Amino acid sequence: MNYDVSQIISHLLNSPSGIQRIWLADNQTAPSELAYQVDFPRIEVVLDGVLMDACDAGMPARLEQHDVLYVPAKCWNNPQWNSPVTTLSILFGKQQLGFSILQWDGTAFKTLGKQNVARRGPRIGSFLLQALNELVMQPHDQQTARFIVSSILSHCTDLLDSQIQTASRSQALFEAVREYIDENYADPLTRESVAQVFHISPNYLSHLFQKTGTVGFNEYLNHTRLEHAKTLLKRYELKVKEVAHACGFVDSNYFCRLFRKNTERSPSEYRRQYHSQLTERTINRE
């Protein structure tokens, strides 16, 4: 089974059998010692297997494949792990939704997937949950309950897919910024000037490098310039100051300090060592 949360929910919504029975926890009594209680609403979906759940004071509910249990805020459920089962749990927090896929193989638990996604606002999706809360008093209205749960799950996939698209856009923007730096490293680039080119704020540019890249903006810019400086030192007999300026360093002294920190050699020492090694390889070939 593929344990991508978005794909699992989409498969559940689009499968011919679809969502089966909706169970609604209605427990006003104090939870038992092993019960699971949180301050936020939850949806539990059985993906595979059978789960017995004492979600109210009566007989335990028997949740089979594609059955759904809705647990309102402040309420509880008490799953009985008697046989192998895989479940999807969705927790509706104030700021984000939490998804977790849990498998019980009969002897041990295994977390197969875990993901969080930010909500678009405190009200988005809240009215659907409110409608489910009202249905708790009419648990036999299965058709309406299925419609509401399907709408909630569709909302979840929309949030998950939007998160993927946002990540893809961030990656594409990051690659475009890197390409711009690679092509314009010799110019007097700054965080502000590069951000202006891409119509973003300097702070967002820094955030983009911290989140998507492995080094910060200044570290990447200096690394790019130093790599080009090494090439110039190897191929041309330019003065160190000329190399520095050709690679975008206004202060040649700063360039020398940064170069030594990066290579443990001064630019002149780096050049001499390279030519010495090149001469030695040429003699050995002869």
pLDDT of 286 > 80? The answer is no
Indicate whether 84 and 137 sit together in one domain: yes
Indicate whether 200 and 243 sit together in one domain: yes
With a pLDDT cut of 70, the percent of the chain lying above it is: 90
In a domain, 171, yes or no: no
In a domain, 11, yes or no: yes
Indicate whether 196 and 89 sit together in one domain: no
Residue 27 neighbours by CB distance under 10 Å: 22
Q: Which of 166, 194, 223 is the last residue of a domain?
A: 166
In a domain, 233, yes or no: yes
Q: Could you identify the residue written with the tokens 């104030």? A: 94
Q: How many domains does the chain have?
A: 2
Indicate whether 102 and 213 sit together in one domain: no
In a domain, 173, yes or no: no
In a domain, 245, yes or no: yes
Task: Using only the alpha carbons of the chain, give its radius of gyration.
Answer: 30
**Which of 83-92, 232-241, 245-254, 273-282 shows the lowest per-residue confidence on average (mean pLDDT)?**
273-282
Residue 174: Cβ-neighbour burial (10 angstroms; 0-12, 13-18, 19+): middle
Q: Domain containing 238 — which CATH number?
A: 1.10.10.60
Q: Which of 106, 137, 166 is the last residue of a domain?
A: 166
Element (H or E) spanning 71, and its range? Answer: strand 68-71
Give pLDDT, residue 254: 96
Indicate whether 121 and 222 sit together in one domain: no
In a domain, 154, yes or no: yes
- Rounded CA-CA distance 265/257 in Å is 9
In a domain, 172, yes or no: no
Indicate whether 231 and 272 sit together in one domain: yes
- Rounded CA-CA distance 92/129 in Å is 9
Q: Which band of pLDDT confidence, cut at 50, 70 and 90, is reported for residue 16?
A: confident
Question: Residue 77 phi/psi, 5° resolution?
Answer: -140, 160
Residue 191 neighbours by CB distance under 10 Å: 17
In a domain, 236, yes or no: yes
Tell me the pTM.
Answer: 0.60
Identity (one letter) of the amino acid at 69?
L
Indicate whether 63 and 162 sit together in one domain: yes
Indicate whether 61 and 143 sit together in one domain: yes
> What's the whole-number mean pLDDT along residues 139-165?
86
pLDDT of 63 > 60? The answer is yes
**Which of 118-127, 147-156, 199-208, 228-237 shows the lowest per-residue confidence on average (mean pLDDT)?**
118-127
Indicate whether 199 and 249 sit together in one domain: yes
Indicate whether 16 and 98 sit together in one domain: yes
Per-residue DSSP letter, 58:
S
Indicate whether 38 and 162 sit together in one domain: yes
- By residue range, what is the domain housing residue 145? 5-166
Contact present, 125 and 92 (Cβ < 8 Å): yes
Indicate whether 103 and 204 sit together in one domain: no
pLDDT digit string, tens, across residues 208-237: 898 877 789 999 999 999 999 999 999 999
